[in-house]
Structure 1
Amino acid sequence: MMPIDAHAPITITALKWVPPFAQGQVRDHRLRWMMKEVGWDYAVELIDPTVQESSGYRAQQPFGQVPVLREAGRPILFETGAILLDIAERSGKLLPDDEADRALAKCWLFAALNSVEPLLAEISVADIFLEDKEVAKGYRPYAVKMAELRLGQLSGYLGDRDWLVGDDFSLADLMMSSVTKTVHHTDLVEAHDNLAAWRDRCFVRPAYKAAIAEQCAEFEGHGPKDMGWGEETNEKGEEA
């Protein structure tokens, strides 16, 4: 394991502005949350679509997304799951001490991103992104059915546990609870008392509250024009 340089300058990228439905949801909030949990300082570089589409940024993040993490003397990292796992391993925090639990926490990190998030995201496709409202109306029941299935399975596994793995909050809880935000505009999580209580235990953490407040404060200081959009931008981020 590489030694941690507590004085290494760390920068993460984030968007200058997003429509209201996405505020508090853009994935850099996961990295901000993690950094605050482990106590690492960082700077934020706010970017816009021009930067996202540039060859320089695409060399760092091939898909033009946020966030990336830049740290002196280390490779530039992208993909929040990979970044968070790297930070957890290097800091020695948010991973259980028990070897078996540590391995299981990593399983749940990937489960959040691969098995749960894609199905929950389909709700947003139906509710926000599909332009044809008749298609959206027809598709939504299927999207809800699949999301309900996954959340029911998650609730069943969680049972009466306080946390997904071991006896304390871990990287698994951070990522999975963040994923549930995808359906925050529905009552799908609230349909499971244990799941809603677990999510609330995660979101009451000071590091989470600080991360969301920080991200949203930056959005409040910017607007559609900072993203190269017109003032008549709708809730999807499209110019009317």
Structure 2
Amino acid sequence: GGGEILKIDVDPIGGLSNFHASTISKFLLKHIDENLATLVKNLYKMVVNEDLLLAEINPLTIVGDKPIALDSKVIVDDNSSYRHDLTNLYEYRRHLTWGEKQAREYGFAYVPLKGDIAVIGNGAGLVMATLDLVKYYGGEPACFLDVGGGASSERITKALEVVYREIKPRKIFINIFAGITRCDEVATGIVEAVSKVDIPKDMFVIRLTGTLEDVGEKILRGEGFKVYKDMDEAAKKVVGGG
């Protein structure tokens, strides 16, 4: 009915049953329609088989006795792309920016935003916390970029190239809490990026702590960078205070 919403929880082991499909059909049409029930079951199969995060049909209409999807939307889990070869499809790639294509090639989690402070870190939780801290102190993040664990100097250089060339931020906030990632690799990547991409040094605010942090800090200080150990202090600095 108008304005009503039906929610059905589906056990992933058992999958969408005939009863579920019939229930949806009855909710939409006030009677059980086999064609609509089949469409619902096929939609569920597509979600499972194609590793979809979202499968939406809106609007759905009935022409004669056949349900017709007038418009639809799907979102594929990027982590499953190796199973579906989606990265080689022109229609999939043509809407991506240069930076998004580079990020996918190197395995970064990268989301452009609307601010002027690029945020790069290792680990999604750390990067999210850094975004929150930048916002808390009055700044606006320009991107979310997670280089992942164990990031090499090459990956750090590429991440910096992506954000500098595509976003052109006012500041670049690098926040590394190193475990399997090594601070000396991060530092080397930053130095190489400055040389290769010609990024101004005063654009950087760097917080570096963890594995081989003393070595990483020595490399960066030798190149004229200031390195912070405290995340709050670095966040205040990148926003414009402190």
Q: TM-score, normalised by structure 1?
A: 0.24
Q: If each structure's helix is expressed as a fraction of its own residues, which one has the higher value? A: 1
RCO greater where, 1 or 2, for CA within 8 Å and sep 6 or more? 1
Q: Which has the larger Rg?
A: 2
Q: If each structure's strand is expressed as a fraction of its own residues, which one has the higher value? A: 2
